[in-house]
Amino acid sequence: SKALNILQLNKMKREGLPISMITAYDYPSARLAEEAGIDIILVGDSVGNVLSNYNSTLPVTIDDMVYHTRSVVRGAEHTFIVADMPFMTYHVSSEEALTNVRRLMQEGHAHAVKLEGGMEICDTVKRIVQSGVPLLGHIGLTPQSVHQIGGYFIQGKNSQAAERLLNDARALEQAGAFAIVLELVTEEVAKSITREVSIPVIGIGAGRYCDGQVLVYHDMLQYSAPYREKKFVKTYSDIGTLIRDSIGQYVKDVKDRSFPGEEHVFKADENVVERLYGN
Ligand code: KIV
Ligand code: NA
C-alpha cells in the first residue's frame, strides 16, 4: 500500500473517517506501526522525554530529529511521516526555519514538518508552506512553551482562552497548514475547533470529537519508566513488564548456565554467523 497524502487526509475529514497517528523514534517501532496499519507517524520531539527522560522537550536538537526521522522513514516506507521542529529552530527567523525544514526533509526524508504555535508563528508557517512543504500545526498545550505556561495544564478553559485557540486554528488553516494537532483541551473546545476549520484536527487529550487521535508510542504500550498516570492515554499492552521479565529470565539463565543451550553452540563444520548485523 502507498503512503497517504494530505489530499487523502483532508478527504478523510470530509467523509468523517477518523485518522490514526502515533509517534515513533526508530526503525523497529516505525516498522511495527506501519505493519499495524497506522495512517501517520509523528517523529515527535517527545523523543527527548521518552528515550532520554528529559523533563521537557527543550533539549532536543535538530540533529537529534534528523537522525530519528531518518531511522523512522527506513522502517515505514509506505507511511506518511511528519517530523517535529525542535525548540527554537523556527523562531529566530523564517530563513533559519527553512534551513531546518530543509534538514528534516532532505537529510531526514520526512514528508512533512510540525511546529508549535498559533497566530504568532503564521508568517513562518506561510514561508514553509510556500516552499512546498506540508505543515502540521500544534496548538493547545504546546510543550516547548512549558516554562512560560508554568506546567502541563489543560488549555482553553475560559471562554477567552477558548476563543483564542479557535482563532489560532483559523489562522493556521489560513496560513496553509494541512492539519492541526490539538493537545490537552476540554472536549467542548476541541469539538468546536474541529467543527470550525476545514482541515483535520488530530487530538491528544482532546476528547472524542476530533478528526483523528495521536498517542505517544511508549505511553500506550507502557514501554517507559518512570511510569506516569495520564488520563488521556489508553494502555494497550504492558511491554515494560514483558521486557523486564524477559531480561530477568535471561539473567537467570546465564547465572544457572541454562543459556546458551546446545542449540546455540557452533560445531566445527559451521563458520557463517547470519544476520549478526544489518541485512
Ligand atoms: O512530540 C510529540 O510526541 C507530539 C505529540 C504529543 C503530538 O508533539
Ligand atoms: Na512534539
Q: What is the pLDDT of residues 78-124, one digit of tens each?
A: 999 999 999 999 999 999 999 999 999 999 999 999 999 999 999 99
pLDDT at 269: 87
pLDDT at 251: 98
Per the annotation, binding residues for Mg(2+) are 45, 84, 116
* Cα 268 to ligand 2 centroid, rounded to whole Å: 53
Query: Is the pLDDT score of 273 beyond 70?
Result: no
Cβ–ligand 1 distance for 181 under 6 Å, the answer: yes
Mean pLDDT of the chain: 95
Domains, the chain, in order of start with CATH, read 6-238 (3.20.20.60)
The residues annotated with a catalytic role in the active site are 183
pLDDT at 98: 98
- CA 132, distance to chain mean position in Å, is 21
pLDDT at 204: 98
Query: If you average pLDDT over residues 6-29, what whole number do you get?
Result: 98
* Cα 87 to ligand 1 centroid, rounded to whole Å: 13
Cβ–ligand 1 distance for 23 under 6 Å, the answer: yes
pLDDT at 274: 64
pLDDT at 268: 87
Beta-carbon contacts of residue 164 (< 8 Å; ≥ 6 apart): 118, 156
* Cα 6 to ligand 2 centroid, rounded to whole Å: 20
Query: Is the pLDDT score of 59 beyond 90?
Result: yes
pLDDT class for 270, splitting at 50, 70, 90? Answer: confident
Query: Is the pLDDT score of 279 beyond 60?
Result: no
Per the annotation, binding residues for 3-methyl-2-oxobutanoate are 45-46, 84, 114
Query: Is the pLDDT score of 226 beyond 70?
Result: no
Ligand 1 atom 2: residue of nearest CA: 44
Q: What is the SS3 string spanning the chain? A: CCCCCHHHHHHHHHHCCCEEEEECCCHHHHHHHHHCCCCEEEECCCHHHHHHCCCCCCCCCHHHHHHHHHHHHHHCCCCEEEEECCCCCCCCCHHHHHHHHHHHHHHCCCCEEECCECHHHHHHHHHHHHCCCCEEEEEECCHHHHHHHCCCCCECCCHHHHHHHHHHHHHHHHHCCCEEEEECECHHHHHHHHHHCCCCEEEECCCCCCCEEEECHHHHCCCCCCCCCCCCCCCCCCHHHHHHHHHHHHHHHHHCCCCCCHHHCCCCCCCCCCCCCCC
Cβ–ligand 1 distance for 172 under 6 Å, the answer: no
Ligand 1 atom 1: residue of nearest CA: 44
Residue tagged 483559523 (cell numbers): 170
Amino acid (1-letter code) at residue 75: G
Percent of the chain with pLDDT over 70: 96
Ligand 1 atom closest to Cα of residue 50: 3
pLDDT at 229: 77
* ipTM score for this prediction: 0.99
Beta-carbon-side half-sphere exposure of residue 25 (alpha carbons within 13 Å): 15
Distance CA 153, CA 137 (A): 19
pLDDT at 225: 59
